[in-house]
Structure 1
Amino acid sequence: MWFKIAGSIFILFSCTYFGLYLAKQCQNRARHIRQILSCIVSLKGYMTYGAVPLSEGIADCSKGIEGITADFFSDFSKRLQEDYTLTPKGAIIQTLSIYEKKLALNQEDKEVLILFASQLGIMDRIEQEKYLTMIEKRLDFLAGEAARNCDANCKMYRYLGLCSGLLIILMLI
């Protein structure tokens, strides 16, 4: 009898935890995209008006944010500063592989970041500003999409975790 109760409580807590975890990942994706967008807007200002070198601009653009996204951009900047033969695209691919589990980004978000880094430092300032504006618009669209998905799915994930735990318990009893 006690084993059934203890097992039921364990199943309920684990399923509920999994639902809460999925809801948190959904919220984190929207937050991470907004922070990345903020960094890119700041980088555009540094590159266009400040004429700051790329690695310094990337390091400075993450000063207004905190958390894993700031760590991502500082690591990206360190990779560019340490290895001068490494392209920005190569540096961001290496950094994305390290932060893949920490950042809540899907494949499309990662592709936009790789696209962002692929043209950094190649064009003149005016073309660079236009390119960063295009990336900014794409990330803005993805941030809006992530926020809409978060609004629609977070509550569902929470309830689905709890209800699936209850369903499993009912099936086992």
Structure 2
Amino acid sequence: MIKLLGACFILLSTSAIGFRIARAYADRPRQIRRMRGALSLLQTEITYGSRRLDRICEQIAKREKDPVRSLYTRTAHYLKTLDGVSTFECWKRAVEETWPSTALKNPEKEVLIDFGKTLGISDREDQLSHLVRARTNLEVEESQAREEQMRYEKMCKSLGVLAGALIVILIY
């Protein structure tokens, strides 16, 4: 009885690990798409609005889900509270702090940080062109993430279950 219970725990734990890794492959394209949507909202606000950047970030945070919400909430907070710090530093700090809670990888991080270098320091047209470039770069990353998802998601699930079965067979 105890052997059977142990075998079930082993099989369940390795399966859970496999499914968790597979979920990261599924979450990445979704989060990139949300990030692109938030940048579209930012582009609309810059084009047609006349509010301050911290207010725009708060508005975007209200409309989005985590981790995008967290990024814009922290950016708005830093823009309000940190005197003498550039917009880029506020953006970069928010990206760095929210990054561990995302399924995104370094290419997306580099795109966002690169975009933050121009945020708030140039005229409207220049910022819009940088927004378009960032969204295009994220679109490329999203298509690559979808390819990785199709390639590895099912494999990770299967490997989790099969690894558990192999361990159970080897132990018992």
Q: TM-score, normalised by structure 2?
A: 0.92
Matched ranges for 1:152-163 at <5 A: 152-163=151-162
1:37/1:136 contact within 8 Å kept: yes
Whether contact under 8 Å (1:47, 1:53) holds in the other structure is no
- Comparing 56-65 with 37-46, greater Cα deviation is found at 56-65
The count of corresponding residues between Structure 1 and Structure 2 is 172
Q: 1:138, CA displacement in angstroms?
A: 0.4
Alignment-derived partner of residue 57 in structure 1: 56
RMSD: 1.5
Contact 1:40–1:61 under 8 Å retained in 2: no
CA distance in 2, matches of 1:100, 1:132: 20
State the 1:125 CA deviation: 0.6
Greater Cα offset, 72-81 or 48-57:
48-57
| Aligned partners of 1:62 and 1:70 also within 8 Å | yes
Match of 2:83 in 1: 84
Report how far residue 127 of structure 1 moved. 0.9
Counterpart of 1:33, as a letter, is I
Q: Which residue of 2 aligns with 1:134?
A: 133
Secondary structure of 1:100 counterpart: helix
**1:27 Cα deviation (Å)?**
1.4
Identity score, percent: 25
Gaps of 5+ in 1: none
- 1:89 aligned counterpart, secondary structure: helix
Q: One-letter code of the match for 1:36?
A: M
Deviations 1:71-108 (A, max 9, x none): 22111111111113222332233223322331111111
User: Which structure 2 residue ranges, 5 or more long, are not aligned?
Assistant: none
Q: TM-score, normalised by structure 1?
A: 0.91
Contact in 2 for aligned 1:17/1:161 (Cα 8 Å): yes
AA partner of residue 120 (structure 2): G
Q: Is the CA contact 2:70–2:98 (under 8 Å) kept in the aligned structure 1?
A: no
Q: How far apart, in 2, do the equivalents of 1:68 and 1:62 lie?
A: 10
Secondary structure (helix, strand or coil) at the match of 1:24 reads helix
Q: Which amino acid aligns with 1:148?
A: E
Matching of residues 1-173 of structure 1 within 5 Å: 2-173=1-172
| Separation in structure 2 between the aligned mates of residue 92 and residue 9 of structure 1, nearest angstrom | 46
CA distance in 2, matches of 1:128, 1:87: 16
Tell whether the 8 Å contact from 1:19 to 1:161 is kept in structure 2 after alignment.
yes
